[in-house]
Amino acid sequence: MPLTGQTVVVLGMGRSGQSAAILARDLGATVICADQNPASTAPDGCTNTCGESHLLALKKADTLVVSPGVPASLSPIKDAAEKGTRVVGELAFAAQLIRDHAPIPVAAITGTNGKSSTTHLTGQMLSHNGFRPWVGGNLGQPLSDLAHQRVVQPLRNQPVHDVAVIEVSSYQMELPERFHADAACVLNITPDHLARHGDMQNYAATKLRIFDGMGPGDLGIMPLDEPWLNTTIAGLTKRGGAIQWIGKNPGVDWSSHPPNLVEAEFQGTRDDGTVDLSAFPLPGTHNVSNALAAALLAIHLGAKRDEIRMDALEPLPHRMEIVCQSQGIRWINDSKATNIDAALVGIEGAGTSSIVLLGGEGKAGADYRQLITALEQRAKAVICFGASGTTIATSLTNSGLQPLVHNPTNFIEAMRLAAQLASRGDTVLLSPACASFDEFSNFERRGEAFGRVATELMDSNEHRGAS
């Protein structure tokens, strides 16, 4: 087995760490699981070390696998690398095993916003073309699950997937080792996770490592007007990789089309021509951009452009998801918009005459004034709720926001007020610009509550605004 005789220490026993430990165990390694949480557990057959002394286990490692939730900047991790220990992130650990023992074409997607949606859309497009994609990484299943299927079980289970579509976070690129994708896309880079990465320069450089292992025959996909990409473009082309653009050719050109976009043109790809967008069902130009990035990835991996069914694409839950349409009112769940940039995209994508719900647990230093222009152009009313509701409402009001700003105390009151204010032709948009942890355990629970309560309110007599 590939890891027989090695001691593998897995640091961080969340979902990714558990999956990596099982993979290493079943490939013959002696596995030690380390976590600062004294209540953490290890898979059967692995040694569990947790609590205050968990970092002592790092000294025993031949290979140290670091979960994405653990910063690579920790001194014990750096010390291990300096002493010659192989130090690798969970994603790269799994990817290298797949590449060495059971290769599969890989599309990788990163960016501050939109990477989960684009990963999801890429998987759908490949499915339309008869591929059997595995979709995961930072989204859903850890890549170690796919490595287990392909490397550990090929004789017992014939692999069911013939291509991998991987969402990649900046945390996963802190220790990328030789991570390689046949096609990789950076959607955008805006301020986020700076408490961990320090500044925008380091944050951008970390994300752009997704291109480092690429060479001849590989494809890098990038957005226009991204100042952090210049050196990356030079490095990728020097290694023989190709560049395609979201918004111009080579790549896909759609920026010159009118707002009612009906067609996009692909040039310089493996299957040039046009794609009909007239029946594309997802709201917002950002979703069009994400879908076209997904199409570039899928075409590079072998999808036929004519078999990409834009009209059949479905959104991920909690990303501009239409959860209720009743009495001429549309309710959109964009609960995943946990920062200002994501909320701005949601507000711009929802259309005019929107009632926008902002609130939850805001991030330190967030400047909600960045939303004012979009809100003045598109919002009928703004409802601020939750732990940061007053802060958001005060910031917007003091800056002279024209639409009326309301500040109920909690999420349910905000929903009831939205139902009362909404009239036929309006959109009620939850694009909160905040985390959910004041009232909900995660953004999924918040989004589920939004959909459920929206349906209840529209079925009740609490809705009075329809005409």
> Does residue 354 register a pLDDT over 60?
yes
Mean pLDDT of 257-276: 85
The 3-state DSSP class for residue 23 equals: helix
Q: What percent of the chain has pLDDT over 70?
A: 96
Q: Tens digit of pLDDT for each residue in 232-258?
A: 777 788 888 999 999 899 999 986 555
Catalytic pick from 193, 248, 249, 257?
A: 193
Catalytic pick from 54, 113, 115, 197?
A: 115
Span between the terminal Cα atoms of the chain, in Å: 69
The structure tokens listed for 76 are 């014990």
Please identify which residue in the block is written with the tokens 């408490």: 195
Contact 328, 425 (CB under 8 A): yes
Query: Which has the closest alpha carbon to 188: 260, 247, 261, 268?
Result: 247
Instruction: Report the pLDDT value the prediction gives residue 159, as an integer from 0 to 100.
Output: 66
On the question of a cis peptide bond just before residue 250, with omega within 30 degrees of 0, the verdict is yes
> Does residue 463 register a pLDDT over 70?
no
| β-pair partners for 392 | none
Q: Tens digit of pLDDT for each residue in 142-162?
A: 999 999 999 998 755 666 899
Instruction: Report the pLDDT value the prediction gives residue 226, as an integer from 0 to 100.
Output: 77
Instruction: Report the pLDDT value the prediction gives residue 120, as an integer from 0 to 100.
Output: 97
Which DSSP string do the residues of 161-211 spell out, in sequence order?
-SEEEEE--TGGGSS-TT---SEEEE----S--HHHH-SHHHHHHHHGGGG
Q: How far apart are CA 46 and CA 52, in angstroms?
A: 19
Strand 251-253 and strand 263-267: pairing?
antiparallel
Instruction: Report the pLDDT value the prediction gives residue 259, as an integer from 0 to 100.
Output: 56
| β-pair partners for 379 | 354
Q: Give the count of beta carbons closer than 10 Å to the beta carbon of residue 387.
A: 16
| β-pair partners for 9 | 32, 64
C-alpha torsion sign, points 451, 455, 458, 461: negative
- Does the 99-312 domain belong in CATH 3.40.50.800? no
The 3-state DSSP class for residue 39 equals: coil
Q: What is the CA radius of gyration of the chain?
A: 23
Instruction: Report the pLDDT value the prediction gives residue 467, as an integer from 0 to 100.
Output: 38
Residue 46 DSSP one-character state: S
Instruction: Report the pLDDT value the prediction gives residue 460, as an integer from 0 to 100.
Output: 84
Q: Give the count of beta carbons closer than 10 Å to the beta carbon of residue 311.
A: 10
Contact 335, 450 (CB under 8 A): yes
Residue 361 DSSP one-character state: B
Q: Tens digit of pLDDT for each residue in 177-196?
A: 999 999 999 999 887 788 88
On the question of a cis peptide bond just before residue 176, with omega within 30 degrees of 0, the verdict is no
Which is the CATH superfamily of the domain at 7-84? NAD(P)-binding Rossmann-like Domain (3.40.50.720)
Q: Tens digit of pLDDT for each residue in 297-319?
A: 999 999 999 999 999 999 889 99
Protein fold of 321-457: Protein-Tyrosine Phosphatase; Chain A (3.90.190)
Mean pLDDT of 256-273: 82
pTM greater than 0.85: yes
Determine which of 204-208, 225-229, 347-351 has the lowest per-residue pLDDT on average: 225-229
Domain map (residue ranges) of the chain: 7-84, 99-312, 321-457
Mean pLDDT of 6-22: 97
pLDDT confidence band for 139 (50 / 70 / 90): confident
User: Residue 133: exposed, middle, or buried by beta-carbon count in 10 A (0-12, 13-18, 19+)?
Assistant: buried
> Does residue 21 register a pLDDT over 80?
yes
Catalytic pick from 129, 138, 287, 407?
A: 138
Instruction: Report the pLDDT value the prediction gives residue 161, as an integer from 0 to 100.
Output: 94
Treating both helix axes as pointing N-terminal to C-terminal, what angle do 15-26 and 90-101 enclose, rounded to 10 degrees?
Answer: 30
The structure tokens listed for 364 are 């330190």
Instruction: Report the pLDDT value the prediction gives residue 225, as an integer from 0 to 100.
Output: 77
Query: Which has the closest alpha carbon to 346: 301, 271, 423, 290?
Result: 290
| β-pair partners for 429 | 332, 356
Contact 303, 126 (CB under 8 A): yes
Torsion (CA) 345, 349, 355, 357 in degrees, nearest 10: -30
Determine which of 188-192, 211-215, 265-269, 448-452 has the lowest per-residue pLDDT on average: 188-192
The 3-state DSSP class for residue 365 equals: coil
pLDDT confidence band for 20 (50 / 70 / 90): very high
The 3-state DSSP class for residue 368 equals: helix
Query: Which has the closest alpha carbon to 239: 221, 269, 204, 212?
Result: 212
Q: How far apart are CA 37 and CA 207, in angstroms?
A: 28
Tell me whether residue 138 is one of the annotated catalytic residues: yes
Contact 179, 127 (CB under 8 A): no
Contact 311, 124 (CB under 8 A): no
Contact 317, 447 (CB under 8 A): yes
Instruction: Report the pLDDT value the prediction gives residue 256, as an integer from 0 to 100.
Output: 56
CA distances from residue 51 to 34, 79, 90 in whole angstroms, order as listed: 8, 20, 21
Q: Give the count of beta carbons closer than 10 Å to the beta carbon of residue 84.
A: 8
Contact 206, 197 (CB under 8 A): yes
Contact 223, 243 (CB under 8 A): no
Mean pLDDT of 435-439: 96
Instruction: Report the pLDDT value the prediction gives residue 466, as an integer from 0 to 100.
Output: 42
pLDDT confidence band for 408 (50 / 70 / 90): very high
Instruction: Report the pLDDT value the prediction gives residue 257, as an integer from 0 to 100.
Output: 57
What string of H, E and C letters represents the secondary structure of 361-403? ECCCCCCHHHHHHHHHHHEEEEEEECCCHHHHHHHHHHCCCCC
Determine which of 27-41, 171-185, 336-350 has the lowest per-residue pLDDT on average: 336-350
Q: What is the mean pLDDT of the chain?
A: 92
